[in-house]
Amino acid sequence: MSTGNPDFDLFRISEDHEALRDAVRAVAEDKIAPYAAAVDEEARYPQEAHDALVASDFFAPHIAEEYGGVGADALATCIVIEEVARVDASASLIPAVNKLGTMPLILAANEDVKKRYLTPLAEGRTTFSYGLSEREAGSDTAAMKTRARRDGDDWVVNGQKSWITNAGVSDYYTVLAVTDPDGKRGSNVTAFVLEKSDEGFTFGEKERKLGIKGSPTRELHFDNVRIPGDRVVGEVGDGLKIALRTLDHTRVTIGAQAVGIAQGALDFAVSYVKERKQFGKAVAEFQGVQFMLADMAMAVEAARQMVYVAAAKSERGDADLPFFGAAAKCYASDVAMQVTTDAVQLLGGAGYVRDFPVERMMRDAKITQIYEGTNQIQRMVMGRQLLARK
C-alpha cells in the first residue's frame, strides 16, 4: 500500500525490483562468480560475465525501449550493478560504464545520434566508454588539453585521455575536448562520439592496477582523428555542463557498486565465522565478532538506503540530485573500504590470501573512493550545494 507521501515511498522497494534482484543474483552466482577469481588472477576481461549479461538483458538495462533496450529505471539499474558487484566488481563495471558512456547522449544528443549509438548497445553488440579524465588535469576537468578543431563539416581531434574503463573493448567512446581554446573556461568544451575504428585513434598499454583487474584501463590517444560533424553530442561548448550532469547520475551507480562489494564481503565473513572454530566454539559466538558484524551490516544498510534514495532522485531529475549523488557515492565507497577491511580482519590470516575472495574485494573497493570524482571532490560538491541553498 502506498503511503500517499512520495518522501516515504522513496524507501519502498517494489515487488518488481525484488524480483529483478533475485534474477540478477541467480545469473551472478551461476554465470559470473565462478570466474571472478580467475579474472582477477589473470587480469583479463570477464567475457563470461559479458556474455551472461547480454543473454539476460542486464548488459545495458538503462537503455530505453525505443532504442531496443529494456528501459530499466535508475533504481533497477543500481540493483543490477549492486548484485553483480556482490560477486565480481570488475564485471559490474560492464553495465555501470555502459551507462556512464551513454548518459551524455541520453541527456543531450539528438535523436539521430541516440538511435545510431544506443541501439547497438541495447542489442549487446558493443560496449560504450567515457573519455573525460586526463593524467595532468585530474580532478580539474576544465584544464583538459585534448583539442577538437573544426575543419569544414568535420572535426579533427588531438590529445589523450587517461584511466578509461573498458578501453580497447568498447567500440564507442564519449570524448570531451576543448573546441574554443580562447573561450571562457568551462564553456569551451564539446562532447563527441568517437569510434574505435576511427583512423588515428589508438590505445595505450593496459594499466597494472591494485584492483578491478578484470576491467581493462587504458589511455586513449588521438592523432588527427577526423570525425564527421554529426558526432557532436548536444551543443558545441556545452560539453563540460553535460559531463557534470552525467556524473550527477552515474555517481549513484558507483555507490551501488560499492554497496555490492561491501555486501559480498559481509556475506562471506558471516559464513566464515559461523564455520571457523577457536577455543572450542564458533568464532561467531564471540561478542566482539558479533559487534563487528553488526557495525558492518548497519553501515551497508545505511549506504544502500542512501544509494536508493539518490537513484529515485536521478530517475526524477530532482534539483538536489548533485548533493544526493555525491553523498551516496562518497558514503557508500567509504563503507565498502571499511567493511572489506573488516572482513579481511575477521578471516585473520585466511583473509590475507587469495584462497578466499575478501582480499580481492578489499582491493576492488579502493577504486570506488577515487573514480568518478574522488571522495574529496564529492565533499566539495556537497559543500557547495549546501552553501548555495537559501
Residues serving a catalytic function are: 372
Rounded Cα distance between 50 and 119, Å, is 17
On whether the CB atoms of residues 47 and 91 are closer than 8 A, the answer is: no
Closest by Cα among 176, 231, 225, 229 to 202: 225
The CA distances from residue 169 to 113, 125, 214, 233, 243, in Å, are 21, 11, 12, 22, 22
205 burial (CB, 10 Å; 0-12 / 13-18 / 19+) is exposed
Query: Across-strand partners of 149?
Result: 156
Record the cell numbers describing residue 4, joined without a space.
Answer: 500517499
Tell me the CB-side half-sphere exposure of residue 8, using CA atoms within 13 A. 5
Query: ∠ CA(169), CA(119), CA(39), 5° rounding?
Result: 25
Record the cell numbers describing residue 274, joined without a space.
Answer: 559461523
